[in-house]
């Protein structure tokens, strides 16, 4: 017993020693962790300081990059990535990069011809079955073209024509405008960029596919290393195939659906919208489409082939023949209302198989069940709020008499491939505007005439507090001009560049402004198509407004358009695949915008446009969402970026209102936003109406001077700025150019009763020097003056008639 007590005492002592040791180790460990935490905190502070310094340097670099980077630097030529066999997802979507402005791209607007006309345009070229199979396999092995539907691939193969190149021939030249996609059948070619060899391509490879999407320059050269045989198809043929296939399928499906009793009361525009809700599913001969006794929530329409219906009296009996279902017949309507137990078997009974249009209950409820009542509500109570705009306290009617000669340029707000945007003022009252000038030559070269007219027509009719206002348009021989509302808070893109990322509450505000703009546009049947931070301007209150409607189009409810356009990182899959697109593509771009504003980068981004498109086609589920995105934000983005357009939030039965009701916007005051009483998360510093400190500086010397009357205006920029500053310092009521004013008085004081010729005859014979200097609107003034008076004015103002001038008369667009 004594020994047991000693043993217990000894064990207790050992246990106590062990506990003391553990406590000591624990204390040492805590001290060690504390020391490490201090070291980590210190290093994090150093890293944060360095990151801040790097960001500051990047911002400075970006400011100068904005001046030097032009649209010609945009990498939109041939895709050579597939030849290197690198993974498209090797480039993380959230990798930090030097932020530069992105240039939007567009194909030529597609001429909307009837399907039967498109059939005539397509020309098939004879080729063997072996060659057809070879070309089909090559397309199916291409990262982009494999996403096309089989009937489209077959049509492309049929329309491809042969080309032969001998050893040393240049097949594609870097910098040339591309129009063809190629498939190599025989031989080898060499790919080079800036005279540096990148790789070689052999038989069975596709190259140059970016050229069939839109008008772009080749970014690499391809030279034959041996005698080569290739097959090619041009962009116009490709677009015709895609458009024809889409229109034929939509028309065919529409005819099938409108003859079904369940949908016969729906209007044509509603039916057109819900056609895409149906999935096309194929079944091989003998395959069960539905089984008797199974639970079902899908409705079927037979689109191709014939199906057999069988039914058994009980589960132990053999099913017996009941009837056949032909094209246009349907089954399973009850499943749209509630879960149905299938009362019969439906089996494909056609040697060529059966194709059905399939609609599930959820899609029916989301898109169709309340569609009619929603449209009726929208017709009786328009969603968008109408506004009346006043400028400088004066009615818009004052702008009707505004001439281009009344406008003086203050400074440049931005430059791009189209031309420039200038801050200008009306010399009559010192009201400030933004003047967007676009080069006619560039518009015609890029075949964008239709897009420019769309921009003008749409912006002239919009009245929304979330869309930049267009007041007036002009044109001369070289330029088109748009007089716009000023937003001196700068671009949201600039703020994002300087900040790196935004907090979610800030993004909620900016995206809400976009949603209000989209609600207004979509209600009018207008598709925007070019959402990105670069196209969002901040006003003095920090509210953002949509600008640049170059790709906007009025398509109407239930209709689609087919032109490839947008900014690569923001285009929706249906645009890339030429399936036809509508307002659902704007919902997609809204999801991309929210992702980019929160994380600092778009979810889909590659080293060139073709890689970006291929990543987009992999879908939003393939993207790794950073932890910076909250759960609700991630869910909203994923719902906005569904692959199937009809599944996107904002496109379903309640439209944009579904987005506003999403949990991510819980607690957000939409009414205060619309009233303009909600305080913006960032209020830009704007000290006066010519304060351009929120915009990047654009050096005058780096830009070519246009050969028109605005050249004279630009040389006076400093004088105008000085005059404006003097105006603010002295509080004068206004000023105008004395020389110009004196000239106008001289013109108006001439004897208007003197008979010379009609205005048109006089102006046609008038010396260009005088016409150029006066710069008046010929349609608004009566000026029959004599040749003697003409000569007097020429001598008085020392006008050189031998100086080469263009015709500088100004007119309004359209």
Nearest to 328 by CA among 248, 244, 254: 254
CA 669 to each of CA 506, 510, 680, 697, 785: distance values in angstroms, whole numbers, following the listed order: 14, 13, 12, 36, 63
Of the listed 530, 586, 608, 709, which one is catalytic? 530
CA 547 to each of CA 465, 551, 678, 813, 814: distance values in angstroms, whole numbers, following the listed order: 12, 11, 21, 19, 21
Nearest to 489 by CA among 520, 510, 460, 507: 510
530 carries an active-site annotation: yes
For residues 574 and 546, is the Cβ–Cβ distance under 8 A?
Answer: no
For residues 621 and 642, is the Cβ–Cβ distance under 8 A?
Answer: no
* φ, ψ for residue 452, nearest 5 deg: -65, -45
CA 737 to each of CA 405, 406, 727: distance values in angstroms, whole numbers, following the listed order: 11, 9, 14
Report the C-alpha gap between 718 and 725 in whole angstroms.
Answer: 11
Residues 6+ apart with CB under 8 A from 497: 59, 62, 99
Report the C-alpha gap between 472 and 482 in whole angstroms.
Answer: 6
Residues 6+ apart with CB under 8 A from 655: 374, 519, 522
Q: How many CA atoms lie within 13 A of 390 on its CB side?
A: 4
Report the C-alpha gap between 754 and 764 in whole angstroms.
Answer: 18
Residues 6+ apart with CB under 8 A from 299: 262, 330, 331, 332, 333, 335, 336, 358, 359, 360, 364
Residues 6+ apart with CB under 8 A from 470: 456, 459, 460, 462, 482, 483, 484, 485
Alpha helices in 69-108 (DSSP H): 81-84
Report the C-alpha gap between 372 and 370 in whole angstroms.
Answer: 6
Helix (H, G, I), strand (E, B) or coil at 474: strand
Report the C-alpha gap between 62 and 498 in whole angstroms.
Answer: 9
Report the C-alpha gap between 350 and 302 in whole angstroms.
Answer: 12
Report the C-alpha gap between 436 and 452 in whole angstroms.
Answer: 12
Give the residues across from 183 on adjacent strands. 206, 231
Beta-sheet strand order (sheet of 221-224): 170-172, 221-224, 189-193, 196-201
Alpha helices in 141-222 (DSSP H): 150-159
| Maximum Cα–Cα distance across the chain | 145
Residues 6+ apart with CB under 8 A from 94: 599, 600, 601, 624, 626
DSSP state of 403: -
Report the C-alpha gap between 359 and 575 in whole angstroms.
Answer: 24
Nearest to 576 by CA among 624, 534, 610: 610
For residues 30 and 38, is the Cβ–Cβ distance under 8 A?
Answer: no
Q: Between vectors from CA 458 to CA 424 and to CA 535, what angle results, nearest 5°?
A: 60
Nearest to 413 by CA among 717, 99, 97, 811: 717
A 10 A CB-CB count for 401 gives: 10
Alpha helices in 369-499 (DSSP H): 371-380, 440-445, 449-461, 492-499
Active-site residue set: 530
């Amino acid at each position: 017993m004594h020994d047991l007590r000693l043993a217990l005492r000894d064990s207790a002592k050992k246990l106590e020693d062990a506990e003391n040791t553990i406590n000591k180790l624990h204390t040492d460990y805590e001290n060690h962790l504390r020391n490490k935490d201090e070291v980590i905190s210190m290093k994090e502070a150093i890293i944060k300081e360095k990151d801040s310094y790097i960001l500051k340097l990047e911002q400075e670099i970006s400011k100068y990059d904005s001046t030097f980077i032009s649209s010609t630097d945009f990498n939109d030529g041939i895709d050579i990535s597939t030849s290197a066999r690198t993974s498209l997802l090797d480039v993380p979507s959230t990798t930090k990069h030097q932020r530069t402005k992105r240039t939007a791209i567009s194909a030529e607007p597609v001429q909307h011809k009837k399907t039967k006309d498109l059939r005539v345009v397509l020309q098939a070229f004879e080729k063997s079955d072996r060659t057809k199979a070879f070309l089909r396999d090559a397309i199916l092995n291409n990262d982009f073209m494999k996403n096309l539907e089989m009937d489209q691939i077959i049509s492309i193969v049929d329309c491809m024509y042969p080309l032969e190149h001998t050893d040393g021939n240049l097949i594609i030249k870097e910098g040339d405008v591309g129009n063809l996609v190629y498939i190599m059948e025989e031989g080898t070619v060499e790919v080079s960029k800036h005279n540096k060899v990148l790789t070689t391509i052999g038989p069975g490879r596709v190259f140059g596919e970016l050229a069939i999407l839109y008008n772009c320059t080749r970014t690499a050269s391809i030279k034959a290393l041996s005698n080569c045989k290739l097959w090619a198809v041009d962009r116009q043929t490709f677009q015709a195939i895609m458009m024809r296939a889409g229109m034929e399928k939509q028309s065919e499906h529409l005819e099938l659906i409108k003859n079904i009793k369940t949908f016969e009361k729906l209007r044509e525009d509603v039916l057109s919208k819900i056609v895409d809700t149906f999935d096309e599913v194929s079944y091989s001969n003998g395959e069960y489409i539905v089984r008797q006794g199974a639970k079902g929530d899908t409705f079927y329409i037979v689109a191709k082939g014939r199906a057999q219906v069988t039914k058994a009296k009980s589960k132990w009996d053999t099913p017996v023949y009941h009837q056949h279902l032909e094209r246009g017949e349907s089954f399973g309507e009850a499943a749209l209302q509630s879960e149905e137990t299938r009362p019969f078997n439906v089996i494909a009974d056609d040697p060529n198989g059966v194709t059905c249009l399939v609609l599930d209950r959820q899609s029916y409820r989301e898109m169709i069940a309340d569609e009619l009542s929603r449209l009726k509500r929208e017709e009786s109570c328009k969603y968008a709020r109408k506004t009346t705009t006043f400028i400088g306290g004066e009615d818009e009617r004052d702008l009707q008499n505004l001439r281009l000669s009344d406008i003086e340029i203050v400074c440049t707000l931005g430059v791009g491939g189209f031309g420039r945007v200038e801050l200008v003022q009306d010399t009559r009252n010192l009201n400030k505007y933004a003047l967007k000038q676009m080069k006619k030559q560039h518009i015609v070269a890029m075949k964008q005439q239709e897009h420019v007219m769309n921009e003008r027509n749409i912006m002239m009719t919009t009245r929304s507090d979330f869309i930049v206002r267009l007041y007036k348009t002009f044109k001369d021989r070289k330029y088109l001009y748009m007089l716009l509302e000023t937003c001196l808070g700068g671009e949201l893109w600039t703020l994002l560049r300087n900040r790196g990322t935004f907090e979610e509450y800030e993004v909620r505000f900016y995206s809400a402004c976009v949603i209000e703009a989209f609600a207004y546009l979509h209600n009018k049947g207008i598709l925007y198509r070019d959402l990105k931070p670069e196209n969002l301007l901040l006003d003095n209150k920090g509210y953002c407004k949509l600008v640049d409607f170059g790709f906007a189009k009025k398509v109407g409810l239930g209709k689609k358009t087919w032109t490839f356009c947008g900014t690569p990182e923001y285009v929706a899959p249906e645009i890339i695949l030429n399936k036809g697109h509508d307002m659902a593509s704007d919902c997609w771009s809204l999801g991309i915008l929210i992702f980019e504003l929160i994380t600092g980068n778009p979810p889909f981004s590659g080293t060139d446009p073709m890689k970006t498109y291929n990543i987009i086609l992999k879908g939003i589920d393939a993207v790794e969402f950073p932890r910076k995105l909250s759960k609700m934000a991630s869910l909203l983005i994923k719902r906005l970026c569904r692959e199937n357009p009809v599944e996107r939030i904002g496109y379903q039965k309640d439209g944009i209102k579904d987005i506003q009701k999403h949990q991510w916007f819980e607690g957000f005051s939409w009414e205060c936003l619309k009233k303009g009483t909600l305080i913006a998360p960032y209020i830009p510093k704007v000290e006066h109406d010519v304060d351009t400190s929120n915009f990047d500086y654009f050096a005058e010397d780096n830009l070519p001077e246009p050969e028109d009357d605005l050249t004279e205006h630009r040389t006076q920029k400093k004088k105008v700025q000085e005059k404006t500053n003097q105006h603010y310092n002295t509080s004068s009521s206004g000023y105008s150019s004395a020389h110009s004013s004196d000239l106008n008085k001289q013109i108006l004081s001439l004897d208007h009763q003197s008979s010379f010729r009609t205005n048109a005859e006089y102006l046609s014979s008038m010396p260009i020097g005088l016409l150029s200097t006066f710069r008046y609107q010929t349609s608004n003034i009566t000026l029959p003056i004599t040749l003697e008076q003409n000569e007097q004015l020429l001598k008085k103002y020392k006008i050189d008639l031998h100086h080469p001038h263009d015709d500088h008369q100004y007119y309004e667009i359209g």
